[in-house]
Amino acid sequence: MSIFGIAKKGFGKAVKAYKQKKIASGKATRSDRIKYGGRSPDIKSVPMSKTAKKNITESVRLGKQHFYLKNIDEVNKHNKTIREGEKAVSHAKKKLKKMTETKRAFHIGESIHPSNPAKGNK
């Protein structure tokens, strides 16, 4: 639309239409979404906790406690993964040792290589 078309239609309507089109495409800023109807200025999806109505410091303490528990769960999850990885490594080492004992694999220095039955590697 040219500048004359915008002037005929009215700058306010044209800008609002442009901003709403930008909101619909997902490329608008938060301030545009609030100003042109894509978002409410108030947060409504998260209700205020019962303790926050009485005591803000208690609400802050509960929030910090929640994230502390969340951090504990995540650390425990990663420690469990490490333990399972160590078990997998020890299991793989046992299997490689068994393969060298049964001559299905052989050592060259520190590395273990599979033996080829067709060539007769030892």
Give the model's confidence band at 94: pLDDT under 50 very low, under 70 low, under 90 confident, else very high. Answer: very high
Q: State which of 46, 61, 81 marks the end of a domain.
A: 46
- What domain range is 119 assigned to? 49-122
Judge if 54 and 42 occupy the same domain: no
Same domain assignment for residues 28 and 77: no
Is residue 122 located within the same domain as residue 72?
Answer: yes
Model confidence over 50-66: pLDDT tens digits? 666 677 787 778 888 88
CB 105 within 8 Å of CB 115: yes
Same domain for 108 and 66?
A: yes
pLDDT at residue 121 in the model: 57
| Tally of domains in the chain | 2
Q: How far is CA 20 from the centre of its chain?
A: 30
Distance CA 36, CA 17 (A): 9
Asked which of 17-26, 63-72, 94-103 is least confident by mean pLDDT, the reply is: 17-26
Within 13 Å and on the Cβ side, how many CA atoms surround 80?
6
